[in-house]
A and B are shown apart, each in its own frame.
Chain A
Amino acid sequence: MSTNEPDHGGSDVAVHDGDLPARFENPGLPEHKHRLTDTDPKAARRAEKQVALLFVLSIVGTLVMIVGYFAVKMDHGLGFLDYLDRLALSNQILGIGMAVSLLGIGVGAVHWAKTLMPDEERIDYRHLQRGTDEERADAVEMLNTGVEESGFARRPLIRNTLIGAMALFPLPGIILFRDTGPLPEKVLTETFWKAGDRLTLDPEGGPIKASDMVLGAVAHVMPEGIEEAEHVLNEKAKAAVLLIRLEEDQLAPESLDGAYGGIVAYSKICTHMGCPVALYEQRTHHLLCPCHQSTFDLTQNCKVIFGPAKRALPQLPITVDDEGYLVAAAPFGEPVGPSYWERS
């Protein structure tokens, strides 16, 4: 092929007027230069010693690791901080021992190859990937013979039914995965919250009185009894709520219905990708999601004012029960958390 230029030797192109070639030509490999270790036996001897030293270093590293393993014991009787110190020591001794052991071999081997093994460059020749025309013709011939012998072309009934069978047989392999999970049904639209559920503190679990929430206070709450749910984490992933107290006149009119004396409860699950929108800035009344910085304005009924989220955080309407504890007045009015196709 045209790319495979002839492999010229070291001829340079003479600069004369007249018949100059269109391109320079490859001058060929430069003359080999000997290394110090090739010419000076002392240098070679030195390199040999260096390589051996590196291998010895590796042995030392291995020994350090073995001794360290048995000498540094993880003793449960130690205090917490001492235990961590011991662990750090163990990790460092084992790791450094291992690194020295490995690097000794690696650096030694490479140094050996570089200084003492022959460094004269050798040449291999390449061949085109494609076969010769003859080989190709033979291959085609063989394939044709095979096709002919099988009767694949001559017996369309066999061919077509085989294609049909091959197309269908993987189907059960897909269907078998049907039971990897239930269908979504309506569960994405429901949370653990029911009307009358007390708001309890996350993680320790006591109910909260409206009077407990001073101005500017924030509490992370869960519905009462969620710890007894069948799938606690699944329920928590939808039911997490942030409770905040502001001045009543700072709230948007549409959030007042679900508020109780300036106390509002909003879903903590981001409407973008479901992270907990837990960062509340008391002065600006903004809620910030730490995952993608969607920002929600509490004074605008948790409307999105920045970031990749689109929908406002759903509000959980709250009120108080006879004993003055905060309770949900109703479940969420819409699905919480990230968007999905069936959500309307």
Chain B
Amino acid sequence: MSTTSPLEKAGATTGNWLDERVGASKVVKGFSRKIFPDHWSFMLGEVALYSFVILLLSGTFLTFWFVPSAGETTYTGPYAPLAGQHVSEAFNSTLHLSFEVRGGLLMRQIHHWAALVFVVSIIVHMFRIFFTGAFRKPRELNWVIGMLLAILALIEGFLGYSMIDDLLSGNGLRIAQAIVLGIPVVGSYVSFFLFGGEFPGEAFVPRFFVLHVLLIPAIMLMLITIHLILVVVHKHTQYPGPGRTNNNVVGFPLFPIYTAKAGGFFFIVFGVIALMGALFQINPVWIYGPYDPSPIGAGAQPDFYMGFLDGAVRIMPGFVEFEIFGHTVSPNIFIPTLVVPGLMVTPALLYPWIEQWITGDKREHHLLDRPRNAPTRTALGVMAITLYVLLWISGGNDIVATHLHLSINDITYFMRVGVFVLPALAYVITKRICIGLQRKDREKVLHGRETGRVFRTEEGEVFELHAPLSAHDRWLLVGFDAPEPAQALSATDAAGVRRPGGRLEKLRQKISKFYFEDRVAPVTPAELASAHHHGDHEEVTAGEGSKPAVGSGH
């Protein structure tokens, strides 16, 4: 350092101070040049993270005015249609902070939009993880933590909009209470403990408030911290490509590039959410009015992330409820609200281990799959999305009916069948598409890229000229693993002794066959050589007759 500016000097002094007390130099050395790969889909999780930070910031602002009490008061604020009406302190203070605190409405809207963006980004992030196989070893734990965070996000959101005590959320809360009440054996007790007695009572607002602003955010913050630590420990996954292998990570260093990019992206996410808060009205509780168990508004819906549950409830036929030995059992309530989400979440939670068991693959995976190269997994994912979307549409069947001029009853009948048939159909179609894309990849490797130039032979045959792929372009299309179905082992081993776990192994083989029997293998050098050989021209072309057999699994 020949010349030092005052700024550099100050930096050096601070650095020295910190290093001597907390060993800052080791931290900087360890982290500042950590490499992060570039890809837009890697930013989805960051959208979720940043929305969470925005939720903490805007939520803290709101708590300065929100009064977590169901105590009754009279509305005297500027919103004329509610003048003089009996409302709860919670509702009153929400109106006060929306209408009389400058920037209060903006913060409320930012908070609510951020909550929606938070859940949206979690869902999309998780499907990115799923479709690219990023949940595979060693990241199974992080997948589970992510699932837990997603579930907590739903609960957190529901508590947040319920404690305002407006008419819309109040009716939603009534439904939640009925779900609790419908749990066999213990339902009414749990409900009474939760609400401090009968519904609605006055206890739920302060209780929900503490859960919403303290307990659940604290748990989420802890899980998010672990989630991020694990990302650092594992180093980020990367998409396959030339130069990218399972034991390197190619990208840009944390400092300065990702500091600028990810730091900047936080401001972008915040800015976009602020813009939504400025331009789009959300949850106008003044229109709904205060909660009262007698009135209700048409179009009674939960926030979107609860919509799939509400949809499952709506399409569930009621006849399944029955009485036995003087007790009422309500599968029409607990099947759609407890069993269905359980059946959706549990396999998803366990999926990393399920797939590991099927493939028998215990290796670490840091290179992502292109979704087409894991057709069965991709198809299962699309199946899940289809089910989710159908349930969500069912949850908005009244809005769909009025806006598309359909009968609400017809929509319900359609969905009762549709939730079984359409996901299966989506599975089949997706799998066909994936395999089709894989075959196209093979074609491209074997016969080169279409150039668009058409060549006519003297005999009148027409060819399109194909240019061979460069090694770099080719690598993306051939550098993947296509597991073969687990080989059927004989029930006894070589020594004639019955293998342990034979039945489970048979099941594994069956599922493995289901997963991989129509696999499309990547082109091998030998196949490429033979394709070149068959071509009539040095310039590789694809004539009618030279279509190679797809190297399918046996």
Contacts and interface: CB of A to CB of B under 8 A. Distances in A.
A105 interface: yes
B296 A291 contact: yes
Interface in B201-257: 201-203, 233-235, 242-253, 256-257
A23 B294 CA distance: 71
24 contacts: A24-B524, A30-B242, A73-B102, A74-B78, A95-B279, A105-B264, A106-B265, A106-B268, A106-B271, A109-B264, A121-B252, A122-B251, A123-B243, A180-B194, A181-B193, A184-B189, A233-B200, A236-B294, A272-B333, A278-B296, A292-B310, A337-B178, A342-B188, A342-B327
B250 A1 contact: no
Interface of A: 1-5, 7, 10, 12-13, 15-17, 20-24, 26-30, 69, 72-74, 76, 78, 80, 83, 87, 90-92, 94-96, 98-103, 105-110, 112-114, 117-119, 121-126, 128-129, 177-178, 180-184, 187-188, 202-203, 220, 222, 231, 233-234, 236-238, 240, 268-269, 272-276, 278-279, 290-294, 304, 306-311, 337-344
B248 A16 contact: no
Contact of A272 (B178, B188, B266): B178
Contacts of A126: 235, 246-249, 366
Q: Which 3 A-B pairs have the closest CB atoms?
A: A95-B278, A109-B264, A106-B267
B472 A27 contact: yes
Contacts of A7: 245, 247-248
A338 B269 CA distance: 43
B448 interface: no
Contact of A237 (B102, B258, B293, B365): B293
Contact of B294 (A184, A273, A276, A341): A276
Given A87-B99, A233-B293, A291-B171, A26 B274 contact: no
Contacts of B364: 1, 3, 128-129
B35 A122 contact: yes
Given A107-B268, A180-B196, A278 B274 contact: no
B256 A117 contact: yes
Contact of B248 (A12, A103, A125, A276): A125
Most A C-beta atoms less than 10 A away, residue of B175, B235, B397: B175
Contact of A26 (B105, B327, B479): B479
- The majority secondary structure among interface residues of chain A is loop
A308 B313 contact: yes
Nearest to A307: B318
B193 A180 contact: yes
A308 B317 contact: yes
B192 A4 contact: no
Given A20-B524, A91-B278, A240-B293, 6 more contacts: A23-B525, A24-B523, A76-B78, A110-B268, A112-B260, A268-B294
Contact of A28 (B100, B242, B246): B242
B303 interface: no
Interface string B175-190: 1011101111111110
Nearest to B261: A113
Contacts of B266: 106
Given A5-B245, A307-B318, A102 B267 contact: yes
B448 to A, nearest CB: 13
Contacts of B194: 180-181
A288 to B, nearest CB: 9
A24 B474 contact: yes
A102 B333 contact: no
B175 A274 contact: yes
A344 B328 contact: yes
A338 B333 contact: yes
A107 B279 contact: no
B314 interface: yes
A124 B198 contact: no
Contacts of A114: 261
B275 interface: yes
Interface string B78-120: 1110000000000000000001101101100110000000000
A125 B233 CA distance: 12
B174 A274 contact: yes
Nearest to B207: A180
Given A117-B257, A293-B397, A339 B248 contact: no
B478 interface: yes
B363 A1 contact: yes
B177 A123 contact: no
Contact of A98 (B274, B366, B524): B274
B472 A237 contact: no
Contacts of B267: 102-103, 105-106, 109
B242 A95 contact: no
B199 interface: yes
B412 interface: yes
Contacts of A311: 321
B102 A74 contact: yes
B319 interface: yes
Contacts of B318: 272, 294, 304, 307-310
B497 interface: no
Interface string B32-72: 01110000000000000000000000000000000000000
A293 B398 contact: yes
A238 B364 CA distance: 58
A23 B326 CA distance: 69
Contacts of A110: 260-261, 264-265, 268
